[in-house]
Structure 1
């Protein structure tokens, strides 16, 4: 399966822009996973962690986020977070 283009953005800067296997997002209605080819939609997000799987079967990299929106479209997944705690 093709890779998913993922972007994580805060008001201050672009945190990530890369192709990954899957991303799990803490939606306000519950967590949801996004793979390449996912149906388009938008969701508000709650405070939690975005889990980024770079390849199938890999351990996820986790980034804590606070609030915002997620949009899935034909170009990929964009998470617009109010705040993101990026590991050093």
Structure 2
């Protein structure tokens, strides 16, 4: 089994999501970037858009609309500090 990425999504009000996932695609200000377990450490600002959170390698993405913020990748995983975050529902 492939290693999992520890992912935390935090807004000013609360912890929105926390747990192990396969991958997260983040709308960075310089372009979208994907984060898997073992990713090199870095920080980025986030533009308004959608996070795509993949719990499993071949599974569907959970989409979460965010209005901006910061992303930090370190040895512990990915932490996103979002100005606001709202789950996107399918129509």
What TM-score comes out, normalization by structure 2 length? 0.93
Deviation at 1:86, TM superposition (A): 2.9
Partner of 2:65: 64
Deviation at 1:57, TM superposition (A): 1.1
Aligned partners of 1:31, 1:87: CA distance in 2, in Å? 18
Aligned partners of 2:74, 2:6: CA distance in 1, in Å? 10
Partner of 1:10: 11
Aligned partners of 2:14, 2:88: CA distance in 1, in Å? 15
Aligned partners of 1:29, 1:80: CA distance in 2, in Å? 17
Structure 1: runs of 5+ lacking an equivalent: none
Equivalent residues, number: 88
Partner of 1:40: 41
Structure 2: runs of 5+ lacking an equivalent: none
Deviation at 1:87, TM superposition (A): 5.2
